[in-house]
Amino acid sequence: MKLSINDTFNKELPSDSNMENSRRKVFEAMYSFVVPKVPTKPELLHASSEMAHTIGLDENDIKSKAFLNIFSGTEVYANTKPFAMAYAGHQFGNWAGQLGDGRAINLFEVMHNGQRWALQLKGAGETPYSRQGDGLAVLRSSIREYLCSEAMFHLGVPTTRALSLMTSGDQVLRDMLYDGNAAYETGAIVCRVAPTFIRFGNFELFAARQDFQNLKKLADYTLKYFYPELGEPSKDTYIKLFEEVANRTLEMIIHWQRVGFVHGVMNTDNMSVLGLTIDYGPYGWLEGFDFGWTPNTTDRQNKRYRYGNQPNIGLWNLLQLANALYPLLEEAEPFEKVLNQYQTDFESKSLAMMRSKLGLMVEDTNDIHLIKDLEDCLLLSETDMTIFFRLLSNYKIGDVDSGLKLVEEAFYSSEEISDAIEEQWKVWFSSYDQRLRKEELTDNERKTQMNLVNPKYVLRNYMAQLAIDKAEDGDNSLIEELFELLKKPYDEQPKYKKWFAKRPEWARHKVGCSMLSCSS
């Protein structure tokens, strides 16, 4: 197995001078060198052939002993030096100080076909940033991260990727619900892949400590390798960098809203400087359409990271990044201009996204009312978001009376559809019908366009939990089935039609199928 190693982060930026792997505060350094813990008996459960090819590997490499050893942490690839990043962050709106890679170890960077990829192991052992943790991960959370990373990519959502999923052969103690009932679980390791794993929190760490020298070094490094088109470092390019991060962050969140994805932990240390979805913990897809839903048990009371609040949190997090970058400009106005533009762009891009979901190509000033009325209807009774929008593409102009029948599979209980609710839906379908008459597309053309933005299949929590349950019994077949299904989420895939279904009632309150904790 041969990779084209091209390390930069751990060669061009300052390292922690202390080589001990002990919990501590780390100053004036971007990272600490650390070696992964050697697992007792690693086993490859699944690998993404697509991601392997993207970094320059083939099928034979995936099957090799070297692949198993390197991506389980058993061996360190020749002439590389693994490390854990130092960063800080705001967690649930509160300043948390130094955080860092507590259970992620960066292996190396690879260049292939002109693209840079950083590879890191999640769950490969403790680091100086592990705090009270052990740096390990369990099978359930690792399956969720592995499947979701690749599923999001194929949905067209900006995301980090996943190369491999392995079990370690070790048992890991976890208190899944933070209720004092800790139990041993199967240990696992995921290899995550992204151009870089730099987060908002990397900048926050140095700004908070008034280490402006390293703050500048990090900004210059980010410009050099990930935003070279912005030009040489200067006050002007720093604000351009912030503007680009803001634009990418908004684009990512608009995609989340489009497919009904809720991240669950939008802390600033979980925000990528490249606008990628990063850190798949207690995430989830909307089952019933609900602006107030969050998958995170830790956030159950305040619902800070609920579905409807994600765009606002994106803005709040960007404000924290602006505060961190401020010392490079010492001017507030340029940052305020970008943040104000984010709010303006959210309104226009959100409207454009919803138009696309409804098959509307022509702009109409009344669309905002049509969309608001639809959202009101969706909230009248429990209505599956994914199924509703997918079935809506079957609507034919002039067929108002059958509109509700067309989408009835999306309703959790048809008994809930009272005469009053049915009448409100009919009013909406009548408005929708009139609006569609302003379009130039045929019914079939509109259906094709709508099915490109409204997925038929998403990784519902109960689906992931079924794969976890089987895997914990030694059966990995459902991991493979879901992996293949989610490669083509917009296709009909008749052989997988059983997954185009509402969450079953048994999963409504089952642990892992509705809400999850941060340890999940």
H/E element, 48: none
| 3-state DSSP assignment of residue 28 | coil
User: Which H or E run includes 107?
Assistant: strand 104-112
C-beta neighbour count of 325 within 10 angstroms? 23
pLDDT at 192 over 50: yes
Residue 198 pLDDT more than 90? yes
Dist. CA 233–CA 458, nearest whole Å: 41
Q: Report residue 180's pLDDT band, with 50, 70 and 90 as the boundaries.
A: confident
Token pair, residue 91, equals 């967690």
Average pLDDT, the chain: 96
Retrieve residue 333's tokens. Answer: 């106005």
Joined tokens for residue 338: 């970008």
pLDDT in tens, 379-402: 999 999 999 999 999 999 999 999
Token pair 């190509």: residue: 361
Res. 520: pLDDT tops 70: no
pLDDT digits (tens, 9 = 90+) for 155-165: 999 999 999 99
Select from 252, 247, 198 the least CA-distant residue to 224: 198
Cα separation, 387 vs 410, in Å, equals 5
What does the longest C-alpha to C-alpha distance in the chain come to?
72
State the pairing for strand pair 137-138/88-91.
unpaired
Residue type, 328: L
Query: What contacts 24+ positions apart, CB below 8 Å, involve 306-309?
Result: 306/262, 307/257, 307/260, 307/262
Query: What is the distance between the alpha carbons of residues 94 and 26, in angstroms, rounded to a whole number?
Result: 21
Q: Are 444 and 421 in contact (CB under 8 A)?
A: no
What confidence score (pLDDT) does residue 89 get?
A: 98
Helix (H, G, I), strand (E, B) or coil at 29: coil
**What mean pLDDT do residues 417-445 have?**
96
CA 318/CA 413 separation, integer angstroms: 41
Residue 414 is predicted with a pLDDT of 78
Given this model, what pLDDT does residue 509 score? 84
Residues annotated as catalytic are: 269
Q: What is the DSSP string of 252-305?
A: HHHHHHHHTEE-S---GGGBBTT--B---SS-EE-SB--TT--SBGGGTTT-TT
CA 15/CA 75 separation, integer angstroms: 22
Q: Which amino acid is at 55?
A: I
Q: Does the pLDDT value for residue 234 go beyond 80?
A: yes
Question: Can you tell me the distance from the alpha carbon of 6 to that of 116, in angstroms, rounded to the nearest whole number?
Answer: 8
249 CB contacts (<8 Å, ≥6 apart)? 271, 275, 314, 317, 318, 342
Distances (CA, A) of 235 to 216, 338, 411, 421, 482: 11, 14, 53, 56, 47
Strand partners, 88: 98
Tell me the average pLDDT across 87-101.
98
At residue 519, the pLDDT reads 55
Six-digit token string for 3: 């990779």
What pLDDT sits at residue 417? Answer: 87
Task: Residue 238: name the closest of 214, 222, 225 by CA.
Answer: 222
Strands 94-98 and 88-91 turn out to be: antiparallel
Q: How far apart are CA 284 and CA 514, in angstroms?
A: 8
Q: What pTM was estimated for this model as a whole? A: 0.97
pLDDT at residue 188 in the model: 98
Question: If DSSP codes are grouped into helix, strand and coil, which group holds residue 126?
Answer: coil
Please state, as a whole number, how many other Cβ atoms lie within 10 Å of the Cβ of residue 383. 22
> pLDDT, tens digit, for every residue of 124-144?
999 999 998 899 999 999 999
Q: Could you give the residue ranges of the DSSP H alpha helices within 58-199?
A: 59-62, 65-70, 139-155
The answer to whether the beta carbons of residues 350 and 267 sit under 8 Å apart is no
The arithmetic mean of pLDDT across residues 449-478, rounded, is 96
The pLDDT confidence band at residue 403, using thresholds 50, 70 and 90, is very high
